[in-house]
């Protein structure tokens, strides 16, 4: 009996744990401190009414023999795949329903897709990065190289043709930096992937936050992408499904490697190691894409955007460099006065009683940067911005 | 770029596809034929009312900021882990809530648990077998050996000390044979695993069908099991959650290999590649374990059991050998007159207009055997038994 030794290579991330411990320690010393959390990475607004209504109808259907649903299709129900295809079509992007695979979320898919690839591939991830991209590859012993994001490239690294990569992660708008690629820049990445025979794993989880029409909401807006890109998206950050768990990935017909259609391998994988997302949840997701659902989602997205605007305006007034804040729920700011990420964390907590997330927890290139999020209430976000403005102004 | 070449080693299973094609072909030739399906592997009774009620309350909670739930704990909500621990305790089995890991189903867990083990392990599976045990291992290049089940051992193979195995699959009551191990036999398996330093992956998905008190409903009823067994269970076959997706696995504190606690590795795996089962579904699962839920589940289980009795009584009258039928929704019968599995399939369809599943689709040892299930209605099951009794009597 041998365990998977690659787990020993995983670095324990103490980022959010350390944030929690430090915050609790401060709270103990200052029990009356009104601490405002701008480190929240989860949505907070209620589910759209259309979704809840559809989910309850689906629940009631399970009470009769006629309405009862057992095992669903591994690839998701046709009603949802068709609705997602329509969601793309509404923006002029062609993705056929049969190319869409529904699941319990983009995080699961992003990890599970790796099962299709040999261990002996090189993986290129941006730095700073959503830690799951790295850890899922370390767990199976794959070599990881980094594309450094920094102020010079606006936290949007471009391909380095000297570096060979087989799997390339792109998240746009990005977590944690909030930076979003232009169509031209994505075109560069697609050309690079095509040249190298690589596959781009495109994380579009935050696409619904894009308001700038010059930015791509899907990688399939880019020429050549259908032959080399898998897109992952989710109902988490748009419809607030972080607790309901529903997402999808797209494996286009043209995505063929060595004569093998990746969609076929994925269906084999999913039918063997997965059993589909709950019917009730898929009905909720379908409702999220209805006209009524989209209107209700727009209200929630508007709520978060207003918060992002308030934080962005504060940093603008202070002359502090940041990315994101538009087209993203995240604001990635440079720590003032040359402070380190954790130094700034301590100062912000002590002087403004505001909690955020030190950038270096997301990778070496995050040193000296800091992430704030727009998921708190209007009132608390405004109060936090006010305190930051007064202290650093 | 290299794809995972082990996918080439997977055998395509045409079992259920061939059954469907043959049935459709017969239907086309005999449009008026009243075909009865006893091949159904999925539950068919409505969800318990208690579950639907709890799910709808949970849906409504999502409509307010206060009630809204975002990301849940990777290991499942405490309310459900505690309820499952109580479910074990009600039968006198000690499994602590913190040893229970909730997921979207036993199928996912049974595949995903393999991530914790090195590729270079030998896997022992029974034959005939639930194909997922084999395929999930073939997909990552692991060596699979078989424990032959047959009439001589009552389709309950015992350990062969000459064979070395690192991972051992046991499913009891078994799919597809319906056979269930005694406590003594399971004790033998646990001792074998302890001697070999192996881990038993114990699939208890059908435990709720056990009525014979001398049989184990959990592997943790067996001495020594906590140091070498992972148990998988689910709300699918008891509460009818095949479409709602909720299950759990147990990693006891004592399960430590080379100084590593497997529960820690599993939590690392789940937190990196998974994001928990939906809150709404977990509330439904909690309700399934309530007194009200258990009463309603007993009605559904009783329904299926009555069908199994009817089929069993028919085979008894005909003097046909079978396993299962009690303690299981499955009846695993010997094909009469020395017929092959597929010969019997054709004959049964043509003469009785009854569809079942040829045993050889589950493995070489299934040749000459046939699976019937108890998931159709009382009326159709009785009619099918009547036809079989008349033709073969």
Q: How far does the CA of residue B337 sit from the closest CA of chain A (Å)?
A: 35
CB pairs under 8 A between A and B: 220
Of B280, B293, B376, which to mutate for an interface test with A (greatest number of A Cβ within 10 Å)? Answer: B280
Joined together, the tokens standing for residue A42 give 């989860």
Q: Domain limits of chain A? A: 8-46+293-392, 49-290
* Chain B residues with CB-CB distance to A277 below 8 A: 104, 245
Q: How far does the CA of residue A120 sit from the closest CA of chain B (Å)?
A: 7
Contact B243 A199 (CB under 8 A): no
* Chain B residues with CB-CB distance to A243 below 8 A: 62, 68-72, 278-279
Closest chain B residue to A135, measured at CA: B272
Whether the pLDDT of residue B13 is over 80: the answer is no
CA A268, A273, A277: angle at the middle one, nearest 5? Answer: 95
Joined together, the tokens standing for residue B273 give 């590649």
Contact A273 B108 (CB under 8 A): yes
Give residue A176's region: left, alpha or beta (phi > 0; psi -120 to 50).
alpha
Give A8-46+293-392's CATH code, choosing from 3.30.365.10, 3.90.1150.10, 3.20.20.70, 3.40.50.300: 3.90.1150.10
CA B60, B63, B66: angle at the middle one, nearest 5? Answer: 105
In this predicted structure, what is the pLDDT of residue A154?
97
E strands, chain B, are: 36-37, 100-103, 122-127, 143-148, 167-171, 199-203, 229-234, 247-250, 256-257, 260-261, 322-324, 330-334, 354-355, 357-358, 369-373
Q: Residue A330's closest CA among A125, A107, A42, A48?
A: A42
pTM score, whole prediction? 0.97
Tell me which fold the domain B13-42+294-392 belongs to: 3.90.1150
pLDDT digits (tens, 9 = 90+) for B314-334: 999 999 999 999 999 999 999
Tell me which fold the domain B49-289 belongs to: 3.40.640
Of B42, B47, B65, which to mutate for an interface test with A (greatest number of A Cβ within 10 Å)? Answer: B47
In this predicted structure, what is the pLDDT of residue B16?
87
Contact A275 B68 (CB under 8 A): no
Contact A243 B107 (CB under 8 A): no
What class has domain A49-290? alpha beta
Window from A218-222, A264-268, B10-14, B145-149 with minimum mean pLDDT: B10-14
Distance CA B325, CA B327 (A): 7
pLDDT lower than 50: segments of chain A? none
How many C-beta neighbours within 10 Å does residue A2 have?
12
Joined together, the tokens standing for residue B129 give 């077998």
Q: Residue A348's closest CA among A391, A292, A316?
A: A391
Whether residue B42 contacts residue A70, with contact meaning beta carbons closer than 8 Å, is answered with yes
Q: Residue A226's closest CA among A259, A255, A263?
A: A255
* Chain A residues with CB-CB distance to B59 below 8 A: 52, 55-56, 59
Whether residue A318 contacts residue A393, with contact meaning beta carbons closer than 8 Å, is answered with yes
In this predicted structure, what is the pLDDT of residue B59?
98
Interface predicted TM-score (ipTM): 0.96
Contact A65 B71 (CB under 8 A): no
* Chain B residues with CB-CB distance to A56 below 8 A: 56, 59-60
Closest chain A residue to B196, measured at CA: A1
- For B242, which of A70, A108, A269 is closest by C-beta distance? A70
In this predicted structure, what is the pLDDT of residue B7?
96
- For B107, which of A55, A268, A275 is closest by C-beta distance? A275
* Mean pLDDT, range B268-291, rounded to an integer: 97
Cα end-to-end span (Å), chain A: 61
């Amino acid at each position: 009996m041998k365990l998977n030794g690659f787990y020993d290579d995983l670095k324990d991330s103490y980022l959010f744990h350390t944030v929690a411990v430090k915050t609790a320690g401060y709270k103990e010393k200052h029990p009356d401190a009104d601490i405002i959390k701008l480190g929240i990475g989860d949505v907070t607004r209620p589910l759209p009414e259309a979704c809840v209504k559809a989910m309850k109808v689906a629940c009631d259907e399970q009470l009769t023999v006629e309405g009862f649903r057992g095992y669903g299709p591994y690839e998701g129900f046709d009603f949802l795949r068709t609705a997602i295809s329509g969601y793309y079509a509404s923006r002029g992007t062609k993705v056929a329903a049969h190319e869409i695979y529904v699941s319990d979320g983009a995080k699961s898919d992003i990890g599970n897709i790796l099962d299709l690839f040999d261990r002996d591939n090189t993986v290129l991830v941006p730095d700073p990065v959503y830690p799951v991209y790295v850890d899922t590859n370390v767990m199976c012993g794959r070599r990881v190289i980094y594309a450094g994001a920094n102020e010079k490239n606006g936290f949007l690294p471009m391909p380095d043709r000297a570096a060979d990569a087989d799997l390339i992660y792109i998240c746009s708008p990005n977590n944690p930096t909030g930076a979003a690629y232009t169509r031209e820049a994505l075109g560069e990445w697609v050309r690079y992937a095509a040249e190298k025979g690589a596959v781009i794993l495109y994380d579009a989880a935050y696409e619904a936050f894009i308001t700038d029409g010059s930015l791509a909401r899907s990688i399939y807006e880019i020429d050549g992408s259908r032959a080399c890109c898998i897109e992952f998206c989710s109902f988490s950050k748009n419809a607030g499904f972080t607790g309901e768990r529903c997402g999808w990935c797209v494996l286009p017909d043209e995505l063929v490697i060595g004569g093998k259609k990746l969609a076929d391998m994925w269906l084999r994988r999913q039918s063997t190691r997965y059993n589909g997302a709950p019917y009730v949840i898929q009905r909720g997701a379908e409702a999220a894409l209805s006209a009524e659902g989209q209107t209700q989602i727009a209200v929630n997205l508007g709520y978060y955007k207003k918060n992002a605007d308030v934080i962005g305006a504060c940093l603008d007034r202070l002359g502090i460099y940041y990315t994101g804040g538009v087209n993203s729920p995240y604001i990635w700011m440079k720590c003032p006065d040359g402070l380190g990420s954790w130094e700034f964390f301590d100062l912000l907590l002590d002087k403004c009683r505001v909690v955020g997330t030190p950038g270096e927890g997301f990778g070496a290139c995050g040193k000296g940067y800091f992430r704030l999020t727009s998921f708190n209430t209007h009132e608390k976000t405004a109060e936090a911005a006010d305190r930051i403005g007064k202290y650093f102004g």
